[in-house]
Amino acid sequence: RLAVFDKGRIEQIGSPAEVYEHPASAFVAGFVGVSNVIDRDGKRFAVRPEKIRMVDPRGGGSTNGAHTERGHISDVVYAGMVTRYIVDLDRGGELQVVRQNLETSSSEALDAKGKEVLLEWSPEHMLEIEPESGEKEGAV
């Protein structure tokens, strides 16, 4: 078990996998690895970059009930075995997406900047989280 503290206060206690996969707050989500925090419909959610699929918006995307967001790639960081994409969302906010470079060259990855994309992920990977301690509701 591990405990994540913020300013001397316990934010969450659990197994490493539990804390990583189910962060209790935005602070925990950011403290234990990279996590995207997104506000939608008056709620705050976390989704890990590796859980997000990035697909061509003209392809229609998945039909399996996945959550989807449209956006444009604003930045690309090629890091050898993976590429990190920053996507500005049409509905506001941004998400970081990590893709393994199984069949992508560095030039293909870097040419993606500015392209429109459809992001999708399974609803079970979109975890509702509480506001950070000291943060007022609706202040985001």
Higher model confidence: residue 80 or residue 3? 3
The secondary structure of the chain, three-state, reads CEEEEECCEEEEEECHHHHHHCCCEHHHHHHCCCCEEEEECCEEEEECHHHCEEECHHHCCCCCCCEEEEEEEEEEEEECCEEEEEEEECCCCEEEEEEECCCCCHHHHHCCCCCEEEEEECHHHCEECECCCCCCCCCC
Tens-place pLDDT, residues 23-41: 888 888 888 888 898 899 8
Tens-place pLDDT, residues 68-108: 999 999 999 998 899 999 999 999 999 999 998 888 777 88
